[in-house]
């Protein structure tokens, strides 16, 4: 049997080559973000070939912008993206735990534990860990609960001004809206260079008036939203070459103008359009003192529709009679353009209340990072309102690890080594947080484990300023339950998926005759 040199220097047979290669790729990805976690975590600078720079310690941003080709590494990055999409925070924790599970799993396999048994134990351990986290969750009954500010501070990397904005917005919107499945508080955030911090009841549309002759400000304005182009119906070039076709073209042009005039007659003062606006429509609406915004994003259209109480309509819907068309209109107390920020604000809509969080930044480089920080804080606040909270700083993971360890006797045989993988992975966040703070992770980990066992308290962790064992809840170090649950679940899923890979084969190109072995950072395999 051929032997292959592993990354650690040990010799293993070729059937473990794929596992080791994948483990090394996962380790490289984990190393890219682990230095950012915790209050003492540092930033990462991302530079592209044009010299454009992003400075951040946001895990998912780092992973998303990395130049990565290895398939196992991409799997880990996709898990982080899924974490971001689902709960909006906790991507670094999910990545670190997934990396820990894979590393521990490989270590057990190299000791002779069958991969199937490792996977069995990991699945069992993850299931028990999820049960323990849910059991330890504390509920939030009101958006006025001061605990929300602590959650916003932790997720917002201790930016007090951003935490204040997010909590104020949550209070303005209310718990009912925040618990809706399709509403995301993070979507209400926008960051602008040169702007001041602000929270207001309304919507920002990142567009300017179509032309400067249109009104700059409107009050008690009826609003029409067109999820289409405001243009006449099209007619084919071939049809235009015939007399009948040309007449049809003239009729469509005139019908279109009549429909636009109908908008004016209904008293509409603001029109937001998904695509472009025809010259004839622009002229008619400008003369009538109507503000028009074109090429508005679908997301902004939906938010405006909800806030002003309007229903979006296609251009063919403009053919409806005036009474039917009026049912699609919304209304806002005030609409005005902020020329400095090149955006339009829609305030006091007659539909559902909608708050907007405007985060100011001094320079262009800082805008993106402050927006990411605010979105993390908003996501965490909303997640906590929906699913409760637990002690942060890696404390609850230690408590859960201690409980999972008690279940080892429930499994027989070598599957217990898979449970050990979960136990050690759950300890990784605290270890990395204290290491980033400049302390010995082994020493501090044992201090926390001992203190929790003696005091029976799952909130004990390490104060990163003093290095002493402290109650994380008392320190305001708090994480949402959904963030923890999704991070543990996602880490388990990706670790199992990677450990199950026995062989890596490069797919043949379209039209090629045979599959060829992977090269480079991938494992070596024979030709078929």
Query: Looking at the predicted structure, is the pLDDT value of residue 309 above 80?
Result: yes
Query: Looking at the predicted structure, is the pLDDT value of residue 248 above 60?
Result: yes
pTM of the model: 0.77
Alpha carbons 202 and 200: distance in angstroms, whole number: 6
Buried b / exposed e along 72-85 (16+ C-beta atoms within 10 A): bbebbbebbebbbe
The full set of domains in the chain, from first to last, is 16-138+390-501 (1.10.560.10), 202-361 (3.50.7.10)
pLDDT: which is higher, 205 or 361: 205
Alpha carbons 277 and 210: distance in angstroms, whole number: 9
Pairing of strands 217-226, 268-273: parallel
Alpha carbons 423 and 13: distance in angstroms, whole number: 28
Query: Looking at the predicted structure, is the pLDDT value of residue 351 above 60?
Result: yes
> Token pair of 498, please?
């990677």
> pLDDT for 375-405, tens place per residue?
999 999 999 999 999 999 999 999 999 999 9
User: Residue 46's pLDDT is what?
Assistant: 84
Confidence label for 525 from pLDDT (cuts 50, 70 and 90) = very low
User: Residue 60's pLDDT is what?
Assistant: 80
> pLDDT for 159-210, tens place per residue?
999 999 999 999 988 999 899 888 889 988 988 888 888 898 899 998 999 9
Mean pLDDT along residues 357-384? 88
What CA–CA distances, in Å, run from 158 to 140, 195, 216, 476, 507? 21, 21, 38, 11, 47
> pLDDT for 321-339, tens place per residue?
999 999 999 999 999 999 8
Q: Is 514 exposed, middle or buried (0-12, 13-18, 19+ CB in 10 A)?
A: exposed
Rounded to the nearest integer, the mean pLDDT of the chain is 87
Confidence label for 246 from pLDDT (cuts 50, 70 and 90) = low
Confidence label for 6 from pLDDT (cuts 50, 70 and 90) = very low
Confidence label for 311 from pLDDT (cuts 50, 70 and 90) = very high
Alpha carbons 359 and 373: distance in angstroms, whole number: 10
Least confident residue range of 34-38, 234-238, 355-359, 365-369: 234-238
Alpha carbons 385 and 171: distance in angstroms, whole number: 11
């Amino acid at each position: 049997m051929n032997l292959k040199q592993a990354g650690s220097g040990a010799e293993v047979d070729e059937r473990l080559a794929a596992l080791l290669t994948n483990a090394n790729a996962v380790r490289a990805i984990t190393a890219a973000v682990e230095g950012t976690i915790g209050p003492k975590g540092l930033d990462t600078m991302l530079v592209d070939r044009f010299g454009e720079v992003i400075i951040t310690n946001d895990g998912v941003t780092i992973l998303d912008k990395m130049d990565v080709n290895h398939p196992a590494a991409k799997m880990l990055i996709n898990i982080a993206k899924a974490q971001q999409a689902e709960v909006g925070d906790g991507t670094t924790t999910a990545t670190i735990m997934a990396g820990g599970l894979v590393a521990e799993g490989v270590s057990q396999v190299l000791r002779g534990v069958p991969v199937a048994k490792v996977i069995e134990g990991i699945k069992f351990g993850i299931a028990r860990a999820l049960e323990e986290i849910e059991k330890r969750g504390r509920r939030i009954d009101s958006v006025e609960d001061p605990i929300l500010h602590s959650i916003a501070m932790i997720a917002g990397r201790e930016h007090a001004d951003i935490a204040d904005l997010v909590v104020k917005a949550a209070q303005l919107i209310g718990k009912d809206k925040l618990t809706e499945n399709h509403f995301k508080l993070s979507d209400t955030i926008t960051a602008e260079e040169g702007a001041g911090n602000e929270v207001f009841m309304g919507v920002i549309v990142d567009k300017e008036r179509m032309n400067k002759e249109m009104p700059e400000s409107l009050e008690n304005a009826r609003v029409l939203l067109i999820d289409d182009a405001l243009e006449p119906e099209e007619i084919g070039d071939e049809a235009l070459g015939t007399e009948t076709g040309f007449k049809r073209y003239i009729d469509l042009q005139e019908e279109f103008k009549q429909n636009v005039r109908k908008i004016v007659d209904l008293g509409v003062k603001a029109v937001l359009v998904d695509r472009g606006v025809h010259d004839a429509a622009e002229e008619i609406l400008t003369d009538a003192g109507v503000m028009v915004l074109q090429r508005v994003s679908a997301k902004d259209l939906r938010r405006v529709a909800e806030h002003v109480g309007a229903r979006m309509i296609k251009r063919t819907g403009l053919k409806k009679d005036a009474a039917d068309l009026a049912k699609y209109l919304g209304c806002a107390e005030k609409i005005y353009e902020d020329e400095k920020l090149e955006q339009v604000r829609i305030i006091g809509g007659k539909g559902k209340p909608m708050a907007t969080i405007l985060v100011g930044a001094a320079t262009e480089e800082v805008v993106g990072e402050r927006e990411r920080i605010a979105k993390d804080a908003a996501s965490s606040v909303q997640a906590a309102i929906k699913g409760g909270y637990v002690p942060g700083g890696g404390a609850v993971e230690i408590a859960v690890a201690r409980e999972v360890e008690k279940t080892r006797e429930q499994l027989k045989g070598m599957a217990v080594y898979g449970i050990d993988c979960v136990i050690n992975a759950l300890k990784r966040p605290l270890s990395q947080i204290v290491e980033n703070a400049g302390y010995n992770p082994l020493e501090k980990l044992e201090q926390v484990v001992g203190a929790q066992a003696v005091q029976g308290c799952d909130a004990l962790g390490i104060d990163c300023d003093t290095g002493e064992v402290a109650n994380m809840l008392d320190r305001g170090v708090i994480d949402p339950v959904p963030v923890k649950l999704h991070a543990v679940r996602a880490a388990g899923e990706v670790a199992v998926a990677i450990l199950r890979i026995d062989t890596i084969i490069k797919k043949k190109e379209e039209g090629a005759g045979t599959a060829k072995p992977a090269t480079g950072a991938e494992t070596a395999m024979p030709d078929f």
